[in-house]
Amino acid sequence: MGGQDYFNNVMWPNYLTVESALTHHTCVDAMCHGHNSFSGGFGLDETNPVSPANYRAAQQELLCATPDESKLLIKPFGITGHGGNTLFNMSDPEYMTFLDWFQ
């Protein structure tokens, strides 16, 4: 797995904070997983994106043996229920950004 460097330099700016073309929201929007809202038990600190706490929070949403079943992937892509609706399509580059983390 790409580790914290990949998370800090690729996942954070190109996956967690990228604005969804479908909803015009990001994962760290105030009412979602930012501003310590911890929606669904998953909270991110957008004021300190490279914090170890953000990396640990993301790790808890992963299934390393089967990355395509990780909550951090299946929820924003609408594969399973997500209170924030579907954020990305499977054809969006964010899908590969996520899977590349495991290469």
Question: Under a CB-based contact definition with an 8 Å cutoff, are residues 19 and 13 in contact?
Answer: no
Question: Under a CB-based contact definition with an 8 Å cutoff, are residues 97 and 14 in contact?
Answer: yes
By C-alpha distance, which of 2, 29, 15 is closest to 73? 15
**pLDDT band at 36; cut points 50, 70, 90:** low
**Token representation of residue 97:** 């950004």
- Please give the pLDDT value at position 48: 86
* Residue 76 or 29, more confident: 76
**pLDDT band at 47; cut points 50, 70, 90:** confident
CA-atom Rg of the chain in angstroms: 12
- Please give the pLDDT value at position 11: 93
Number of alpha carbons in the 13 Å side-chain half-sphere of residue 64: 6
**Token representation of residue 40:** 């669904």
Percent residues over pLDDT 70 in the chain = 96
**pLDDT band at 12; cut points 50, 70, 90:** very high
Question: Under a CB-based contact definition with an 8 Å cutoff, are residues 22 and 88 in contact?
Answer: yes
pLDDT tens for each residue of 48-95? 888 899 999 999 999 999 999 999 999 999 988 888 889 999 899 999
- Burial readout 39-61 (b: 16 or more C-beta within 10 A, e: otherwise): eeebbbbbeebeeeebbebbeeb
